[in-house]
Structure 1
Amino acid sequence: MYLTHSFMSDEKKQSSQPPLILIVEDHDDSLLLLSYALELLGCRFICQNDSSSTILVAKEYQPDLILLDILLPGMNGLEVVRHLKHESLTCHIPVIAVTALAGREQEERILAAGFDDYLSKPYMLEDLEAIICRLLNEKFEPYSAVEVCKES
Structure 2
Amino acid sequence: MSPVTPLVLVVEDETAIATLLRYNLEREGFRVCTAADGEEALIIAAEQNPDLVLLDWMLPMLSGIEVCRRLRRLPTARATPIIMLTARGEEGDKIRGLDSGADDYVTKPFSVSELIARVKAVLRRTRPSVDGESLNFADVMLDLAAHRVRRNNRDIHLGPTEFRLLRYLMEHPGRVFSREQLLDAVWGADVYVEPRTVDVHIRRLRKALNGEGETDIVRTVRSAGYALDETVDATG
Instruction: Quote the offset at 1:125 in angstroms.
Output: 2.2
Equivalences for residues 6-21 of structure 1 within 5 A: 14-21=1-8
Q: Structure 1: how far apart are the matches of 2:2 and 2:78?
A: 28
Instruction: Quote the offset at 1:33 in angstroms.
Output: 1.2
TM-score of the pair, normalised by structure 2: 0.51
Q: Structure 2: how far apart are the matches of 1:21 and 1:84?
A: 14
Structure 2: where are the runs of 5+ without partners? 131-236
One-letter amino acid of the structure 2 residue matched with residue 82 of structure 1? R
Structure 1: where are the runs of 5+ without partners? 1-13, 142-152
Equivalences for residues 113-132 of structure 1 within 5 A: 113-132=100-119
CA contact (8 A) 2:55 2:84 kept: yes
1:1-36: CA deviation from partner (whole Å, max 9, x where unpaired): xxxxxxxxxxxxx52332100011001111111111
2:81 maps to: 94
One-letter amino acid of the structure 2 residue matched with residue 30 of structure 1? I
One-letter amino acid of the structure 2 residue matched with residue 120 of structure 1? T
Q: Structure 1: how far apart are the matches of 2:2 and 2:76?
A: 27
1:48 maps to: 35
Percent identity between matched residues is 35
Q: Structure 2: how far apart are the matches of 1:124 and 1:23?
A: 16
Equivalences for residues 26-105 of structure 1 within 5 A: 26-105=13-92
CA contact (8 A) 2:13 2:36 kept: yes
1:144 maps to: none
One-letter amino acid of the structure 2 residue matched with residue 31 of structure 1? A
One-letter amino acid of the structure 2 residue matched with residue 96 of structure 1? I
State the SS of the aligned residue for 1:98.
strand
One-letter amino acid of the structure 2 residue matched with residue 131 of structure 1? R
Q: Structure 2: how far apart are the matches of 1:126 and 1:23?
A: 16
Bigger Rg, which one: 2
Greater mean alpha carbon deviation, residues 50-59 or residues 23-32: 50-59
One-letter amino acid of the structure 2 residue matched with residue 36 of structure 1? Y
One-letter amino acid of the structure 1 residue matched with residue 7 of structure 2? L
Q: Structure 2: how far apart are the matches of 1:118 and 1:126?
A: 15
Paired residues in the alignment total: 128
State the SS of the aligned residue for 1:53.
helix
Q: Which of 95, 107, 110 does residue 108 from structure 1 map onto?
A: 95
Say which structure, 1 or 2, has more relative contact order (CA 8 Å, 6+ apart): 1
Instruction: Quote the offset at 1:54 in angstroms.
Output: 1.6
1:150 maps to: none
Q: Structure 2: how far apart are the matches of 1:110 and 1:53?
A: 20
Q: Structure 1: how far apart are the matches of 2:117 and 2:18?
A: 19
CA contact (8 A) 2:35 2:44 kept: no
Q: Structure 2: how far apart are the matches of 1:121 and 1:36?
A: 18
State the SS of the aligned residue for 1:15.
coil
One-letter amino acid of the structure 1 residue matched with residue 48 of structure 2? Y
Instruction: Quote the offset at 1:48 in angstroms.
Output: 1.1
